[in-house]
Structure 1
Amino acid sequence: MATHDWLTVRRGDAPLIIGLPHTGTDIPDDILATMVSPWRSRKDADWWVDRLYAFAEKMDATLVRTGISRSVIDVNRDPSGVSLYPGMTTTGLCPTETFDGEPLYLEGREPDEAEIARRREIWFTPYHDALSAELDRLAADGPVVLYDAHSIRSVVPRLFEGELPQFNIGDNDGATCAPALTAAVEAACAVSGLSHVVNGRFKGGWTTRHYGRRELGRHAIQMELADRGYMDDPTGPVDESNWPSAWSPERAADLQKTLSAVLTACLDFANAQRAAK
């Protein structure tokens, strides 16, 4: 179980782990003092995704969540600093700007190599130690699915053109899980009638790519949601007056039905894999 107040591990016995790497908004005071503004520092969180998937506890899934803001350290980035999307605009391990290109830090206060290393030790490593431990625990009984849960604004011109599909499924071009899992997740999304894509702009972050070992029965898949499916999502400029919009269970209910079908497809896949052993 988690031993840090910023790290939450909800253990289940089903062969499904849900990673929640970007739902945190906690920023230590000493780091916040070096930043331009509290709102900007939390702007790019995966807003309300932990609440969106809270129903997964009833499915006996394991959920691993960090409460630390991605602007402090992004636990879904390569710890070496190598870009996940070479040649494309993206944010780094310790981001220095928002998705829209705005500076996060006051001039001259950006984290240096020593500070980045400190943050890795305090937050990045314990998060992945916990995630790895849960994978080991569940994989001891057979194949397991790691589902990395994300969301982003529907329109972010600096990162992608136009409006993002509602469901963005990533398996790093088939490398991180069996094709049957991706197909099952895609089919569950298609039933909703909402737009979806496989390995579009988002093919899976470091978590998916690092832990996805299909030959070992460890199948990892990422879901990047467009926020508009469960919250009011401005298509133009965002500021403190319109972002983030409030969490509404009623607003999220329809999307949760599809996400329940998606997670059920993940469980059905894992259980079928176990039965075949």
Structure 2
Amino acid sequence: MNAASTTPEWLHVHRGNAPLVVSFPHTGTRIPEELAERFVSPWLALRDADWWVHALYGFARELGATTVRSTISRSVIDLNRDPSGTSLYPGQNTTGLCPLTTFDNQPLYRAGAEPDAEEIARRRDTWFTPYHDALAAEIARLRQIHPVVVVYDAHSIRSRIPHLFDGELPQFNLGTAGPSGAPDTSCDNALADVVDNLCAMSGMGHVRNGRFKGGWITRHYSDIPGGVHTLQMELACRGYMDEPAQVDETNWPTEYDVARATPLRDTLQQVLRACLQFASRRDP
């Protein structure tokens, strides 16, 4: 069922009763009219969206999952960044709470039109806070029903972005807020192990806590003693859409490719079912 009518129109909340929340903070493609002229171009402001990810996980509702999705572009405000502005990846190239550049390090704003501290605070109040209020409320609601809840943060990114990482990204990038090869910190190792194994069995290429270890959502909402286990899945876009060697305004984004997405979607269905099984069988 849908959330109450008090939810902002840009925020889509579907309430299920299974012990699983799927978050979509980066699938939005809306630029508020009052901000549009400040960006270099509408296309550049939308290029780094997590294209079609909410469609890829369309089966989540059928599993009884709750979904929380923003339709506002991440270029306006990134809902998966620390609201204080602190970098989640110190020493690595990344983008901030209100990004000033694209993933390819191109300026997003016209000269002099960048958001100042007052504007960033306004955007936090307008979009960041309502999204996280809704996400926190859904987690709390489900914890009243279930002793354990899994929060699954769903993302995607182009396979090759030299400014952010070397070479081609693996298809599945599982983030549990732990150093590579070290114990997971945002969820029980048993949950991370089964998800990791399912990705490995797909034969598509996978990594655990590689370049993407989980953003602010994964790190902030984790409360293992309190029964909340979190993880992030960053997918390479090539698994469900065509990726041109060089993207530009004439060829990106490409359409969601149902046939290409089928093997990826099959694995993701197994992953979400595994999350449900873990939560159903686990005591906090």
TM-score bracket, shorter-length normalisation: over 0.9
Give the Å deviation of 1:191: 1.4
Residue in structure 2 matched with residue 240 of structure 1 by the alignment: 249
SS in 2 for 1:253: helix
Q: 2:174 aligns with which of 169, 188, 195?
A: 169
Aligned: 1:217 with 2:257? no
Residue in structure 2 matched with residue 44 of structure 1 by the alignment: 48
Residue in structure 2 matched with residue 263 of structure 1 by the alignment: 272
Instruction: Extract unaligned runs of 5+ from structure 2.
Output: 179-183
**What is the alpha-carbon distance in structure 1 between the residues aligned to residue 143 and residue 232 of structure 2?**
19
One-letter identity of the residue aligned with 2:206: H
Residue in structure 2 matched with residue 250 of structure 1 by the alignment: 259
Aligned 8 A contact 1:188 1:265 in 2? no
One-letter identity of the residue aligned with 1:264: R
**What is the alpha-carbon distance in structure 2 between the residues aligned to residue 47 and residue 195 of structure 1?**
20
**Cα deviation code 1:59-118 (max 9, x no counterpart):** 010000000000000000000000000010000000011000111100000000000000
Q: 2:149 aligns with which of 126, 144, 148?
A: 144
Residue in structure 1 matched with residue 109 of structure 2 by the alignment: 105
Equivalent pairs: percent with the same residue? 59
One-letter identity of the residue aligned with 1:197: V
**What is the alpha-carbon distance in structure 1 between the residues aligned to residue 84 and residue 273 of structure 2?**
35
Compute the TM-score of the two structures, normalised by the length of structure 2: 0.95
**What is the alpha-carbon distance in structure 2 between the residues aligned to residue 63 and residue 136 of structure 1?**
14
One-letter identity of the residue aligned with 1:40: L
**What is the alpha-carbon distance in structure 1 between the residues aligned to residue 155 and residue 143 of structure 2?**
23
One-letter identity of the residue aligned with 1:184: V
**Cα deviation code 1:144-182 (max 9, x no counterpart):** 000000000000000000000000000011111100110
SS in 2 for 1:40: helix
Q: 2:163 aligns with which of 133, 140, 158?
A: 158
Aligned: 1:231 with 2:241? yes
Q: 1:187 aligns with which of 189, 197, 201?
A: 197
**What is the alpha-carbon distance in structure 1 between the residues aligned to residue 53 and residue 102 of structure 2?**
19
Give the Å deviation of 1:33: 0.8
Residue in structure 1 matched with residue 19 of structure 2 by the alignment: 15
**What is the alpha-carbon distance in structure 2 between the residues aligned to residue 142 and residue 264 of structure 1?**
17
Residue in structure 1 matched with residue 209 of structure 2 by the alignment: 199
**Cα deviation code 1:177-212 (max 9, x no counterpart):** 100110011111111111000000000000000001
**Cα deviation code 1:10-30 (max 9, x no counterpart):** 100000000000000000111
Give the Å deviation of 1:240: 1.1
SS in 2 for 1:150: strand
Instruction: Extract unaligned runs of 5+ from structure 1.
Output: none
Aligned: 1:178 with 2:185? no
Aligned: 1:75 with 2:79? yes
SS in 2 for 1:215: coil
**Cα deviation code 1:107-146 (max 9, x no counterpart):** 0000000000000000000000000000001112210000
Residue in structure 1 matched with residue 118 of structure 2 by the alignment: 114
SS in 1 for 2:225: helix
Aligned 8 A contact 1:204 1:222 in 2? yes
SS in 2 for 1:214: coil
Compute the TM-score of the two structures, normalised by the length of structure 1: 0.97
Give the Å deviation of 1:237: 2.4
SS in 2 for 1:263: helix
